[in-house]
Amino acid sequence: MNDSMKNLCEFIDASPTPYHAVENLAAFFTARGAQELKEGDVWRLEPGVVYFVRRDGTALIAFRPGFHSMGLSGYLLAGAHTDSPCLKLRQGADLRDRSMLRLAVEPYGSAILAGWLDRPLGLAGQIVVRDREEYKTYLYTSNSALGVIPGLAIHLDRELNKGMELKAHTHLPVFVDILAAEASAKESERWLASKLADELGLREENILSMDLSFYDPQKAVVFGGGTNDLAGAGAAAGTVGPDSETAADNSLSKNPRRPKEGELINSPRLDNLAGCRAVGFAFCAAAPGLATQVACFMDAEEIGSRSPGGADSSFLRDVLARINLGLKGQAEDFYRAGARSLCVSVDAAQAWNPAYADKYDGRFSPRLHGGPALKLNASRRYATDCVTEALFGHLCEAAQVPWQKYMARADSQPGTTIGPITAARLGLRCMDIGHPMLSMHAARETIDFSDHRALCSLLKGFYQLDTESLKLP
């Protein structure tokens, strides 16, 4: 496993919730010289310096002011989301039945529920604690299995393999412990708070509330191998070139043939922590330019983006407006900037799965190891238009990476992304792109790392665009 692949896997392993992802992204930018800003402070900005700001602990925006005003050069914006489908703890809804203690959950986003059964589960998130007159937050990770959702034995339902409808309220509570027969109802209710207090060294009565999610504590795994040519059969339109990631390290092989070691990654939360990693690395690898460069990591995409840190909030627009003010720009510059700006929304794309061929349009089904996918939809579930489609092809050719197109079948509608919301709220051209991915929204998903490398390369090229000389319709 090379250093870059290891870095991606370690980032995902260390980020079981959006709180952890944002904390790790903040550490990533800080280690590279970025300065953290607070929304409540006065911002004094300098061109070419990297800054970042957080909101609610689950969203983060990093930016590098350009050497020209936003009104003249606009901004180059790439974004991904920090949240993933999961099972959220229903606080105070402990269930006890015949000494079995279970913790109630509620699905977050469109999770594929079956994959969560009979799998060791950890617990992670944020805890709010009162310390005298001050409220503090703590990140929590169990770091090991805390419980399991036991499924039904085949002997009790011989039709089980024909399909079973899982009801979240009834079937998904997580079994965590056996309580003594004489245990009181209060002991049952305080089981989790007592455990958290012991692990964090806190007073149990000072724990006021929590936002916790169950997660798969098994680390990301790498498998596969072979020496297939990167431009092998089935690659879609696009120029094929060196299989390299020109992001934060130069240690990767420039050989266009696939290395013999495995490059397939199976992990939780690849949607969309892999996208976050690609955006962050490309942003840091890019040199300062005339245009302002922005990397945004938004929350709540899986539930509609309507949160204080979601794409359908004021967060991104507020930050862009304050960058303009911090550079002593005029009010008119902020509105002019949109006409000179570009956006890339980075999220997963449905990879071809031959076991379910009837669910795909075979002409527009990206394959693993075929390069990043451009996502298109007539109903604008994706933000790509014909202009940004052409620009995407140019970026891939310049970065010498292969690329593919994804379109859902004409008789079905795909999910959506932060792209259409961002484009609509800011009034700028946008494209939706991403990693081809198997089993999207499952407890564990699969990508090919070569596609991630290619994505990093083209995103770095995006950040280097000269918006003043780029002539778009």
- Give the C-alpha separation, 6 to 267, whole Å: 12
Least confident among 36-50, 221-235, 240-254, 328-342: 240-254
Q: Averaged over 363-381, what is the pLDDT?
A: 97
pTM score: 0.92
- Contact at 8 Å (CB) between 444 and 267? yes
Res 258 pLDDT > 60:
no
Rounded to the nearest integer, the mean pLDDT of the chain is 91
pLDDT at 413: 95
DSSP string, 286-350: SPP-SSEEEEEEEB-GGGTS-STTBTTSSHHHHHHHHHHHHTT--HHHHHHHGGG-EEEEE--EE
Q: Give the domain ranges of the chain.
A: 3-84+225-261+268-463, 86-179+205-215
Integer CA distances (angstroms), 415 to 89, 93, 278, 376, 420, in order: 25, 31, 21, 11, 11
Strand order in the sheet with 122-131: 134-141, 122-131, 207-215, 86-97, 100-108, 174-178
Cα–Cα separations (whole angstroms), residue 438 to 150, 179, 244, 447 = 25, 40, 22, 7
Q: How far apart are CA 273 and CA 83, in angstroms?
A: 8
Q: Which of 214-228, 254-268, 288-302 has the highest mean pLDDT?
A: 288-302
Residue 123 half-sphere exposure toward CB, CA atoms < 13 A: 24
Region 141-164: mean pLDDT is 95
* Residues 6+ away with beta carbon under 8 Å from 159: none
**For residue 473, what pLDDT is reported?**
84
Q: What pLDDT, on the 0 to 100 scale, is given for residue 225?
A: 78
β-pairing, 207-215 with 86-97? Answer: antiparallel
Residue 126's nearest CA partner among 16, 261, 281 is 16
Q: What is the mean pLDDT of residues 78-88?
A: 99
Contact 145, 120 (CB under 8 A): yes
Of 186-190, 245-249, 312-316, least confident by mean pLDDT is: 245-249
Pair 214, 123: CB distance under 8 Å:
yes
Please name the fold of domain 3-84+225-261+268-463.
Aminopeptidase (3.40.630)
Q: Report the pLDDT value the prediction gives residue 162, as an integer from 0 to 100.
A: 93
For the chain, the residue count is: 473
Q: What confidence tens digit (pLDDT) does each residue in 412-436 have? A: 999 999 999 999 999 999 999 999 9
Distance CA(431)–CA(472), nearest Å, equals 14
User: For residue 455, is pLDDT > 70?
Assistant: yes
Under CATH, domain 86-179+205-215 is a member of which superfamily? Answer: Aminopeptidase i, Domain 2 (2.30.250.10)
pLDDT tops 60 at residue 84: yes
Please report, rounded to a whole number, the percentage of residues in the chain having pLDDT higher than 90: 85
Per DSSP, what are the bridge partners of residue 434? 373
Number of H helices, E strands in the chain: 12, 20
Q: How far apart are CA 101 and CA 86, in angstroms?
A: 21
Distance CA 333, CA 324 (A): 7
26-30, 53-57, 195-199: the lowest-pLDDT one: 195-199
pLDDT at 228 over 50: no
pLDDT band at 252 (very low <50, low <70, confident <90, very high): very low
d(C-alpha 409, C-alpha 62), whole Å:
36
Closest CA to 433 of 366, 369, 378: 366
